């Protein structure tokens, strides 16, 4: 190509390779899913259709990236663990996190009609991040952290919505109970 | 929350704020779009439906991020320029590039039926990256670079497909001409 | 070399090039200079010998790096500004900041006897950092910031030590005045 | 302090904390030591005075940083290994590498007269870098790499200088032997 005059701007791109021999975790999170779940009338405390769709989208990510050895999801987030010694995309953080976020989103929208009767009202999205864990114990603790978070949130939501749905209390009344 | 034992893993997340007072460009690129365009029988050299859909998806990104002041696209890529002094998401590179890649992808899949008669065969995806440009001249040169790239590729593709479609040559024969 | 078995560890080194077309500032700061100035009986509020030696050391840094266009010092710190378009050491931040910190330190110790009658009691040291400024206004404001800092500290120290040395107050009495 | 107008430039400083739970290695290297060793007439192939002075300087670094658990040196370089779980200076890479480079340099110049009869002709300097190793095996391999490098260079230099000093060959003649 002859466009050398402008091509110097390429040098402004930085190298963001992940440290070798570390566990690379990419976690995606729903953007504005509080509003999204209301607009699409998600069941409370847990919407099985949504959780199944999240699982389906995660499966698509794992199909495209054989280098992912484990995935764990809850609510509107999903964590993907890449094998410690993998070298996909030269371990470039940008490439890994944007690809995962994009594939996950794409599959979520693509497979929506298989799980929901109502159509999508607007396109949902997920952001992502990369975190490195040097030891297997660190990775295990990361997963335990997400699992504990899941358990605590689920316990809270189950109690909250039971009081609202079966106890005939309003949201505000449950919050004022201060028991939770 | 009581999950303090595992929460230390949070400290492994790094701060990746973009340098203040620089132009932040997020560029998204189609992943595997050569195959994708064949599977969905894109017209050659340019498929108007696809280009219009790309524009629609870019519009969605700009609607969600008022901090983007300019977008430029060609083929299966799109560049988004954030205002120099913006402070969205504390300028964290991860957040910006994954959000843009995800919104773009989501809108691309969501609006597909408005532009194509045939259904999507599988979920397409885009990766993304962040590049910083310190001066307005650098940013201008970046856009000139993408524009020159667009022009050169378009010229090549137009000539190539004219020879194939109207000159009755095979792909291999055109390549062997060595004129291009 | 035949040591290929271990050489893979080289890949753990990261690329830390500074963004092109930005002003690179390396600032060095004395480590533990409060104690150092006491041990070497620096005159208060300002020790001319020490300031002259700082200037001498800065001069040495500028002699070795022609790419530095400006230096500004006060107290136990010195800032070095590299030309915006320079490409020394491929603009690698590690190389630039450690070299500057090391040369500065070396010259400070080397030239000590030219400025002080008493010998050094132990080896002093300086740490360093790299900061990038995208615009000339930002760089100017950086220098104004250091200058304002210098002025404020100097005003305080001059008043403080005048009260101690000429007003016959103790350090504690001056502090208790609460005027400063 | 009242200098708020300019203080915004502080935000241009980036956070460069090293990933937790990794071995931090800081390696310092002599700058221009080929010339330096000639000017100061170092003995060939190894100058005991210089090696002893390097060891002395490394000792000083280890005295100031109790967090360093191991150091290994050869020729004009020295590697310092920080304990995996240490939190000195919040693990900021800039602070660690510049401090080590500066202390090492300072001690090298300060203790020079204890090891050399001739005075320093000009101030020597060392650059530095930080490398992270996630596993103990990686760290061990790093040290093996430096050790193998030391051995190979030493073997070469010993043979080379024996031919020059005892075989009465010129430097050029030894190189032309092509045996080495």
Give residue-wise pLDDT tens across range D6-23: 999 999 999 999 999 999
Q: Is A24 on the interface with D (CB under 8 A)?
A: no
What is the structure's pLDDT at C11?
94
- Alpha-carbon distance of B152 to B140, in angstroms, equals 18
Q: Which residues of C touch D95 (CB under 8 A)?
A: 127, 129
Please report the pLDDT score of residue D78 as a whole number: 98
Using a CB–CB cutoff of 8 Å, tell me whether C103 touches chain D.
Answer: yes
Task: Find the domain containing A42 and state its range.
Answer: 17-136
Mind listing the pLDDT tens digit for each residue in D65-103?
999 999 999 999 999 999 999 999 999 999 999 999 999
Looking at per-residue confidence, does A2 or D43 come out higher? D43
Q: Given this model, what pLDDT does residue C179 score?
A: 60
Per-residue pLDDT tens digits for B146-159 = 999 999 999 999 99
Does residue B88 sit within a domain? yes
- Binding-site residue ranges of A for GTP: 29-34, 75-76
A10 DSSP 8-state letter: G
Nearest residue to D28 (alpha-carbon basis) of B126, A133, C131, C99: C99
Name the packing angle between helices D48-64 and D93-115 (round to 10°): 140
Any domain includes D178: no
pLDDT digits (tens, 9 = 90+) for D35-63: 999 999 999 999 999 999 999 999 999 99
Q: Are A81 and A25 a contacting pair, CB within 8 Å?
A: yes
pTM for the full predicted model: 0.94
Residue D33 CA from chain centroid, whole number: 11
Residue of C nearest to A9 (CA): C20
- Position D2 pLDDT exceeds 60: no
Q: Is the pLDDT of residue A176 over 90?
A: no
Residue ranges of the annotated binding site of B for Mg(2+) are 29-30, 76
Please indicate whether, in this complex, the C-beta atoms of C3 and D122 are within 8 angstroms of each other.
no
Whether C15 contacts C97, CB under 8 Å: no
DSSP run (H or E) holding A94:
helix A93-115
Q: What is the ipTM, given to two decimal places?
A: 0.93
Residues near D20 by Cβ (< 8 Å), separated by ≥ 6? A134, B11, B12, D85, D91
The verdict on residue A165 lying in a domain is no
- At residue B53's C-alpha, the angle toward residues B51 and B54, to 5°, is 65
Confidence check: pLDDT of C4 > 80? no
Mutation target vs A (from C12, C92, C93; most A CBs, 10 A cutoff) = C12
User: In the β-sheet with D23-30, what is the strand arrangement from edge to edge?
Assistant: D68-74, D77-82, D23-30, D126-133
In a domain, B1, yes or no: no
Q: Alpha helix locations (H) across C17-135?
A: 33-39, 48-64, 93-115
Report yes or no on A42 lying in a domain. Answer: yes
Confidence at B175, pLDDT banded by 50, 70, 90: confident
For residue A61, how many other CB atoms are within 10 A of its CB?
23
Is D76 annotated as a binding-site member?
yes
Residue D37 touches chain A, beta carbons under 8 Å: no
Banded model confidence at residue A171, pLDDT cuts 50, 70, 90 = confident
Would residue D122 count as lying in a domain?
yes
What is the tally of structural domains in chain B?
1
| Chain A residue whose CA is closest to C90 | A11
CATH number at residue B70: 3.30.70.3000
């Amino acid at each position: 190509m002859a466009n050398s005059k402008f091509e110097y701007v390429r040098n402004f791109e930085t190298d963001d390779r992940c440290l070798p021999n570390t566990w690379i975790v990419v976690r995606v999170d729903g953007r504005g899913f509080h509003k999204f779940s209301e607009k699409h009338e998600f069941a409370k405390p847990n919407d099985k259709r949504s959780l199944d769709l999240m699982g389906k989208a995660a499966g698509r990510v794992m199909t495209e990236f054989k280098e992912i050895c484990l995935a764990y999801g809850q609510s509107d987030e999903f964590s993907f663990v890449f094998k410690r010694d993998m070298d996909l995309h030269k371990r470039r953080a940008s490439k890994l996190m944007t690809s995962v976020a994009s594939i996950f989103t794409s599959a979520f929208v693509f497979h929506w009609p298989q799980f929901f009767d109502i159509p999508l009202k607007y396109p949902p999205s997920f952001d992502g991040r990369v975190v490195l864990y040097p030891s297997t114990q660190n990775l295990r603790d990361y997963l335990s952290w997400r699992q504990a978070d899941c358990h605590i949130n689920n316990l809270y939501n189950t109690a909250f919505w039971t009081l609202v749905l079966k106890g005939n209390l309003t949201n505000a009344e449950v919050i004022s109970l201060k028991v939770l």
